[in-house]
Amino acid sequence: MPDLKEYRVLVTPTSYAKNDARLRINLEEKVKEVVYNTTGRPLSSDELLDLIPEIDGYIAGLDAIDQSVIEAADRLQVIARYGVGVDKVNLEAAKEKGVVVTNTPGANSVSVAELTVGLILALARHIPAAAEATKAGEWPRLSGMTLEGKTIALLGFGSIAKHVARRLQGFDCKVIAYHPSFNIEAAEALGVELRPQDDLIREADFLSLHMPVLPETRGMVNADFIDKMKDGAYLVNTSRGELINETALLEALKRDKLRGAALDVFGKQPPGADHPLLALPQVIATPHMGAHTDGATNAMGWIAMEDCLAVLRGEEPVYRVV
C-alpha cells in the first residue's frame, strides 16, 4: 500500500473544515503536505496552473479545472469534488490522463432543499421586502400568497427535489415533478404527481429547478420555456445558474409574465452589483449558499476527503464519476 506521507493534497473549497476542525487535522496528519486556497473564492484555471504541479490529490471546489490544468498536473491521481456538480471539470481530459474524479452526492441535499422551501416562502410572502420596509420605519400592507392549494413544480426529481417534496407535505399544496427517468414508487411515497415536462411547466404556480447542467439543459429556461409558464408564476433556482437564459428571465419579469424569481445561482458568479436582475424588486438573490450549512459542509468534507485518500491508497472510491 502506498505511503500517504509521500503525497501533497490541494484543498480549494473555502468552507472546508469551517465547521469541523477535525477535517483539517485528520487530513494534515495523514499526508505530507496540504496546500489551501487562501483567496476566499473558486480558482481560475490560470491560478490552478501555478498550484497543480507536484499535487497528488485535489479536493476541489467550484474551480475551473479545464484541460490545461489537467495537462499541467504532473502527479495528480484524483480530483475529489466537494459537491455534486462536475461540469467545471474536464472529465474527458481527466479520463484520458487516468485521473479519477469523484463527487459527494447527497451530502448537501437537505440543506439545499431547506433553502429552496425558504425561498418559496420568501417569494410567496414578500419577506425580504417586508423586512426591509419595516426596518426603514415603514409599515406596509403587503398581500401575500398562501401555499395551500397552490401547485409547486419540481423540474428534476433527484435527491434534493425529493427532500423538497418531503418538506412541502405539511403545506397542503399540490407537488408535481418531472424527471427524465421517472421513479414512480418514490413519487407516490412522497405524494408527488409526475407530469410530462411541458405539462409541469404550464401548471406551476412555483417552479423550482433541480436539473444538472448538460448540453440539453444549458439555457433551457429560455423565452419559449417561460412563455409556457402560467402568468404570474414564480421561478426558483437553487440548482445551477447555467440552466437559465438570464436575458429571457429579465424580460419576462419586466413585462410581469412572471411575478418573481428567487435565485441562489447565476451564470457568472458573483454576478456583480450591476447585474440587471439584481435591480428588480421582485427578484430575491442569494450568494450560492444552498450548501453552506454545518451539516452540508461537514458531510461534503468527509466524503471528499475519504474518497481522495482512498484513491491515493490505491483503493476504489465510493463515489467515482470517472
Using pLDDT thresholds of 50, 70 and 90, give the confidence band for residue 54. very high
- Across residues 11-16, what is the average pLDDT? 96
pLDDT at 89: 98
pLDDT at 84 over 90: no
- Across residues 239-250, what is the average pLDDT? 97
- Across residues 233-244, what is the average pLDDT? 98
| Cα 243 to Cα 281: distance, rounded to the nearest angstrom | 22
**Which residues sit opposite 57 in a β-bridge?**
9, 78
What are the φ/ψ torsions at residue 8 (nearest 5 degrees)?
-110, 135
Instruction: Please state whether the predicted TM-score (pTM) of the whole model is above 0.75.
Output: yes
Using pLDDT thresholds of 50, 70 and 90, give the confidence band for residue 127. very high
Q: What percent of the chain has pLDDT over 90?
A: 96
DSSP H helices, 190-291, are 197-203, 223-228, 246-254
Sequence letter at residue 275? H
Q: Which of the two residues, 255 and 212, has the higher pLDDT score?
A: 255
Indicate the burial class of 155 (C-beta count within 10 angstroms; 0-12, 13-18, 19 or more): buried
What is the DSSP track for 292-314?
-SHHHHHHHHHHHHHHHHHHHTT
Cβ atoms of 126 and 149 within 8 Å: the answer is no
Using pLDDT thresholds of 50, 70 and 90, give the confidence band for residue 181. confident
Task: Give the CA dihedral 106, 110, 112, 113, nearest 10 degrees.
Answer: 120
The total of other beta-carbon atoms located within 10 Å of residue 96's CB is 13
- Across residues 28-38, what is the average pLDDT? 98
- Across residues 46-72, what is the average pLDDT? 98
**Which residues sit opposite 100 in a β-bridge?**
78
174-199 burial: b if 16+ Cβ within 10 Å, else e: bbbbbbeeeeeebbeebebebbeeee
- Encode pLDDT of 213-235 as tens digits: 999 999 999 999 999 999 999 99
Per-chain mean pLDDT for the chain: 97
Using pLDDT thresholds of 50, 70 and 90, give the confidence band for residue 38. very high
Query: In order of start, what are the domains of the chain with their CATH numbers?
Result: 4-107+294-312 (3.40.50.720), 109-285 (3.40.50.720)
- Encode pLDDT of 149-180 as tens digits: 999 999 999 999 999 999 999 999 999 999 98
Helices (H) and strands (E) in the chain, counts: 12, 12
The total of other beta-carbon atoms located within 10 Å of residue 235's CB is 26
pLDDT at 183: 83
pLDDT at 85 over 90: no
pLDDT at 1: 78
Strands (E), 38-104: 57-60, 78-81, 100-102
pLDDT at 271: 97
- Across residues 237-261, what is the average pLDDT? 98
Please tell me what DSSP assigns to residue 275.
-
Please tell me what DSSP assigns to residue 9.
E
